[in-house]
Chain A
Amino acid sequence: MIAFAREFKRMAARYTADLQHRALIQRALRSYEVKRDEFKARYQSWGEARQAASEIKWEAINHLDRYLEEFITKLEARGTKVFVASTDAQARDYIVKVAQENKVKRIIKSKSMTAEEIELNHALEHAGCTVFESDLGEYIVQLRHEKPYHLVFPAMHLTREDISRLFEKELGSQPTNSPEELTMIARSVMRKNYIEADLGISGANFGIAETGMISITENEGNARLGTSLPKIHVAIMGIEKLLPRLEDLALFLPMLATAGAGQQITCYNTLYGGPRQPGEIDGPEQFHLVLLDNHRTEFLADAEQRDSLHCIRCGACLNVCPIFKNVGGHSYGTTYQGPIGSVITPHLRGLQNWKHLSFASSLCGACTEACPVGIDLHHHLLQNRRNATQGKATWWEKPIYAGFVFFMRRPWLYQLSGKLGKIFFPLHKLVNGTLLDPLRLWTKTRDFPDMAPQSFQEYWKEKKAKGPHAPR
């Protein structure tokens, strides 16, 4: 088995056995669900809003060349330095170069999954910069030297006690079990970083082609501070984040908040159209926007799965996924967790190494149902399975299928097996779940259902003999 798949299984087994952890995640997600449903109910038609969002993203992605060109032209006209990176390394190198040329020491960074994707912090630290993650959740996982657990809620796997102990150890603060006090500790630590930082890094939730602006969605105000005070702002976004028109935000801002965080709209939704303009009193002198491809054009070339580029990274599919809820975010070993991560990681990092994620699914379709832009997620998981196995039947699969066909074509054999089952089933109870159990792979974590006292065929025969209206 591939090392990544082995590691996934190991981590998943560990997390599913940790009932306390599962309870923590499920409690957090239940409170999200209540708020999400409350705000969804305020829509006059969530379904039609979703349809429109899907169509607008379809338009943007299927005319990406046109919108991207318009976007870049508009940004450059107002003094933004746009850098189009083909690979993750090119994006990292460019940002490191900007930092070095400007003798940057301290960097204040707000949340960006794209920066996680290219492991930007590591490169900047290697170049001698100190990077402060300013989003509370990201700051917590940075102090723990961990990866984000969830693409929207990075520290949802930690209890307030965990965070209090972490702050005590790393910051020398007093222990507390109040989320408010913990938040205030982080606030006071971060304040001076905003003022002293030479450079601010942000992601971008949307790019508006028509006006040449990026839109950043947040709740804490950390992105606003980090893009206001330092003299340089570097934003990084995937090339797929475009929307054609400014007014599209009237739909996408509330839908992102409702689907992603169970809010009507998040606290700050900010548009940035360039560095400080003539007549403005603050804002960065330099604004760099790095547009990242990093395999996104390969997605685009796969017409069948092109709609996975519609993703607005709201995390709704994670929040409803029975797999995510049980194996947790860290088991995936990917930048993007949950159903969307399982769909896109094979494109970003190679299908054969990451196909196992597409098999770790019940195909229940809850993700597709939850997606505010209507990405056909669970069918993409099936397509990944198909693509991963095409023409690659293993040597033992053929005889198994041949045996299955032989068996299913002979009703007498099928009936005989039912009768034998009834004889052997009571014996199974003796070895249930032990090493001697031939069904151990199943029974070590699950109950094996009892056999029905009567087979369907027997029932049917009896029913027909008694006449159509006879009681059972």
Chain B
Amino acid sequence: MPLADHRQEVFARIREALKVPAPHRHVGHTGEHPTAPNHDDGLPGSETFRAWLPLVGESLEEQITLFAQNSAALKTELHRVGSPAEAAEHLNQLAREVGWHRVATHPHPLALPLAEKVPLPRLVVGPGYAVTDMESCDAAITGCDFLVAQTGSLLISSASAGGRALSVLPPHHIVIASASQMVPDLGTALHQARLRYAREWPSFLSFITGPSRTGDIERILVLGAHGPKRLTVFLVP
């Protein structure tokens, strides 16, 4: 039921304003689309954007290499491992080094089994979890939807990463994903998300690109502004 707002008058003003057409003029506009449009409305689509955005190789190996390069630049700690068991070894080493006391995770086919291999108290989030419980955890272990080679990003959703808070509240975010989740670019990730979710979109989807950061003080980069200070990705075959 629409609320008693001011949409009628605003819409009336919009329609009145648009009666005068705007000049179809942009800086450098040629009057023609640079490449063939691939949507009904004649606008370039993400398949076309690909030709202008940073280049991504076609093979999976090239994409993994690019993802690794981007991760290094972003200070994402990427580990290519041979099996989930190898990921667990790395993870336990990490837990000992940093001195974790407690980890959080969620019911997920890759993340939960990995978390279960860490011999520490564990919070498995579900309906009605306590935020203060989660806040007391040293790390969160989650899944994700896709890895984006072009930007070194992870696409997560409330469905794939245990809700909204798990991947941002604890100071260390651990993600486990398989190589089959690699996609070349943002456009493909969004398109694949549409195929997966369009029937019933989760209320939350997020591209995560590196650990939380800020440059608000003299434009100097500092990691761990409000979200995780560290982001570790385990890539299993």
Contacts and interface: CB of A to CB of B under 8 A. Distances in A.
Interface stretch (B92-100, B109-117, B201-209): B201-209
Interface in A43-72: 43-52, 54-56, 58-59, 61-65, 68-69, 72
Given A49-B53, A301-B17, A273 B201 contact: yes
9 contacts: A58-B26, A64-B18, A78-B203, A137-B214, A219-B214, A224-B164, A228-B165, A273-B201, A280-B163
A273 B202 contact: yes
A374 interface: yes
Contacts of A291: 10
A307 to B, nearest CB: 7
B46 interface: yes
A224 B168 contact: yes
A271 B189 CA distance: 13
A377 B183 CA distance: 37
Interface of B: 2-3, 5-7, 9-11, 13-18, 20-29, 33-35, 39, 41, 43-46, 48-49, 51-55, 70, 106, 125-129, 131-132, 135, 151-153, 158-159, 162-165, 168-169, 185-187, 190-191, 194, 200-220, 222, 224-228
Interface string A95-108: 00000000000000
A222 to B, nearest CB: 4
A293 B227 contact: no
Given A44-B51, A44-B55, A81-B3, A191 B207 contact: no
Contacts of A259: none
A135 interface: yes
B43 A134 contact: no
Contact of A51 (B34, B55, B128, B220): B34
Nearest to B128: A281
A437 interface: no
Interface in A318-377: 368, 371, 374-376
A214 to B, nearest CB: 11
A190 B216 CA distance: 16
Nearest to A299: B17
B219 A156 contact: yes
Contacts of B35: 48
A359 to B, nearest CB: 22
A31 B16 CA distance: 45
B162 A281 contact: yes
B148 to A, nearest CB: 9
Interface string A183-207: 1101100110011000000000000
Contacts of A245: 39, 45
Contacts of B217: 136, 155, 158, 160, 163, 179, 182-183
Nearest to A39: B54
B169 to A, nearest CB: 7
Contact of A65 (B15, B34, B41): B15
A303 B21 contact: yes
B208 A267 contact: yes
A282 interface: yes
B218 A159 contact: yes
A58 B201 contact: no
B190 A249 contact: yes
Nearest to A192: B135
Contacts of A184: 224
A261 interface: yes
Pairs A-B, 8 closest by C-beta atoms: A221-B227, A250-B187, A220-B225, A228-B164, A137-B216, A301-B17, A84-B7, A247-B46
A195 B165 CA distance: 11
A449 B219 CA distance: 38
Interface of A: 24, 27-28, 31-32, 42-52, 54-56, 58-59, 61-65, 68-69, 72, 76, 78, 81-86, 90, 94, 134-137, 140, 153-156, 158-160, 163, 179-180, 182-184, 186-187, 190-191, 194-195, 211, 213, 219-222, 224-225, 227-229, 239, 244-251, 253-254, 261, 264-277, 280-283, 287, 291, 293, 297-298, 300-301, 303-304, 306-307, 368, 371, 374-376
A270 B204 contact: yes
Interface centre among A54, A270, A276 (most CB of B within 10 A): A270
A306 B213 CA distance: 35
A62 B48 CA distance: 22
Contact of A277 (B22, B202, B220): B202
Given A265-B151, A280-B158, A154 B21 contact: no
A98 B157 CA distance: 27
B28 A47 contact: yes
Contact of A264 (B54, B194, B224): B54
Contacts of B43: 52, 55-56, 59, 244
Contact of B49 (A49, A273, A283, A371): A49
A187 B201 CA distance: 32
B214 A136 contact: yes
B224 A183 contact: yes
Contacts of A153: 215-216, 219
Contact of A43 (B33, B52, B132, B212): B52
B215 A261 contact: yes
Contacts of A265: 151, 153, 186, 207, 209
A220 B226 contact: yes
B190 A246 contact: yes
Given A46-B52, A137-B216, A90 B227 contact: no
Given A268-B207, A374-B27, 9 more contacts: A153-B216, A158-B217, A183-B222, A191-B135, A221-B227, A267-B227, A270-B207, A374-B26, A376-B26
A249 to B, nearest CB: 6
